[in-house]
Amino acid sequence: MTLLEQMETLARQAKTAARQLGRLSAEEKNQALAAMAVALTEAGPALAEANAKDLEVGRSLGLSGAMLDRLALTDARIAAMAQGLREVAALPDPVGRVLDERTRPNGLRLRKLSTPIGVVVIIYESRPNVTADAASLCFKTGNATILRGGKEALNSNLLIARLMIEAGQQALGDRFPAHAIQVVPTTDREAIPALLSLTQYVDLCMPRGGEGLIRAVTECSKVPVIKHYKGVCHVFVDRAADLAMAGDIVFNAKCQRPSTCNATETLLVDRPVAATFLPAIAAKLAEKNVELRCDPEALTLLNSKPETRNPKLVAASDADWSTEYNDYILNVRVVDGVEAAIEHIATYGSAHSDTIVTADAVTAAKFQQEVDSAAVYWNASTRFTDGYEFGMGAEIGISTDKIGARGPMGLEELCSYKWLGFGNGQLRV
């Protein structure tokens, strides 16, 4: 069997499963999700064993410490995966919601109803918890999913999917579609363009990972793609900021988990507070050995302070301002007011997540109105751009597109809709 034939088999099976999923009640879907959560919790040792093999592969591939952290399945992350499934089960079923109703002058009644999308392909790197998150959200919304993780996470991904499928079958018997959740079993890169050429079966693709992966998927796909190319997120510390709060927000946004797309990559500091704030935040970031890539003004200011002069302090290049590091590296620029901060973000940002720290409500409102990103915060870390933190349960991804879903994508964003018409013999004149 050729690679294309293998992918066609997966896609055809998924299309059939998607139709079968439409027959499940909300109660049945929730019952299956609860069983899946139990299965993941009880399989902790087996998951740890599979993940250990993946971590070894990751080290052999030369993955950075931050990427290995993404790959690791700790006890806490396994518990979080299971909890995510329970939370998805607890959320209202978005399928079948009446979105609009109207009656035309001729008596024709129209109803707009939320429906599943169909077959959703998820392509992602490293993080095996995405397997559970994506599969659970797709299952709850009646979508069949085909999962393609990175080769470094294949053992973990296959086991997570198998555990979920077996638990669903035990909970629902023959009513659970056998191919509702599938993992592409090959690491061959050509599997992706082959799978994404099957427009007769696949309805949507959602890539999650670095910019290179997302661009490659977008360029080869013949099916619609929801994407975010990268997460170049910013914190702007305004002249009216509470500097203690600002320091805590910057530290959290950069260091709490730097490998994620909502971690901050650039710190913008208003000129009137730069001389006070920058030495303080540089000392705080030194606790995590963060490299600071500075514009000339910030570099001069920090080099003038013996306590902040260190090998991790370097001059920023123009390319740095638009780079997503996913590591302990932070760009630093001194700007002249909120207008300059907004202009910098418009030039170098990725429309993901940006925040302003200020006590001035007028300045905050201007920033939130004029920064065109999926999430714009006032006095909060960029790390909150996440489906779980937004109360969506597990998330399927984060979109920086403007058409369709934008920001964290949960259950509602995995639904389409259709119109139902109810007549009594109306004819178009």
**3-state DSSP assignment of residue 398:** strand
Instruction: Tell me which residue of 177, 153, 154, 151 sits closest to 164, measured CA to CA.
Output: 177
Supply 380's token pair: 């909060």
pLDDT at 145 over 80: yes
Residues in contact with 369: Cβ distance below 8 Å, sequence separation at least 6, in sequence order = none
Q: 121 near 196, Cβ under 8 Å? A: yes
* Token code pair at residue 118: 């169909």
Structurally, what CATH architecture does the domain formed by 233-384 represent? Answer: 3-Layer(aba) Sandwich (3.40)
pLDDT at 194 over 90: yes
Domain segments of the chain as ranges: 3-227+401-422, 233-384
Q: Could you report the per-residue pLDDT of 350-360, keeping only the tens digit for each?
A: 999 999 999 99
Encoded tokens for 49: 């064993």
Q: How confident is the model at residue 76 (pLDDT cuts 50, 70, 90)?
A: very high
State the average pLDDT over residues 205-223: 90
The pLDDT assigned to 33 comes to: 97
pLDDT at 336: 97
State pTM to two decimals. Answer: 0.83
pLDDT of 370 strictly over 90: yes
Q: Is the dihedral of CA 189, 194, 196, 201 positive or negative?
A: negative
pLDDT confidence bin for 1, thresholds 50/70/90: confident
Identity at 325, one-letter amino acid code? Y
Please state the rounded mean pLDDT for residues 274-287.
94
* Tokens (6 digits) for 11: 């896609």
Q: Are 410 and 396 in contact (CB under 8 A)?
A: yes
User: In this predicted structure, what is the pLDDT of residue 228?
Assistant: 81
Q: What is the pLDDT of residues 373-416, one digit of tens each?
A: 999 999 999 999 998 899 876 678 889 988 888 999 889 999 99
pLDDT in tens, 89-143: 999 999 999 999 999 999 999 999 999 999 999 999 878 998 998 999 999 999 9
pLDDT above 80: residue 212: yes
| Residue spans of beta strands (DSSP E) within 271-324 | 291-294, 313-315
DSSP 87-140: HHHHSPP-TT-EEEEEE-TTS-EEEEEEEE--EEEEEE-S-THHHHHHHHHHHH
- Phi and psi for 116 in degrees, rounded to 5? -65, 160
Query: CA–CA distance from 390 to each of 156, 206, 343, 353 (Å)?
Result: 27, 20, 28, 13
Helix (H) or strand (E) holding 70: helix 65-71
210 falls in which pLDDT band (50, 70, 90)? confident
* Arithmetic mean of pLDDT over the chain: 94
**pLDDT classification of 65: cutoffs 50, 70, 90:** confident
- Report the C-alpha gap between 420 and 293 in whole angstroms: 57
CATH architecture of 3-227+401-422: 3-Layer(aba) Sandwich (3.40)
| pLDDT category of residue 310 using cuts at 50, 70 and 90 | low
Q: Region 2-16: what's the mean pLDDT? A: 97
Alpha carbon distances (Å) from 161 to 36, 195, 296: 10, 19, 50
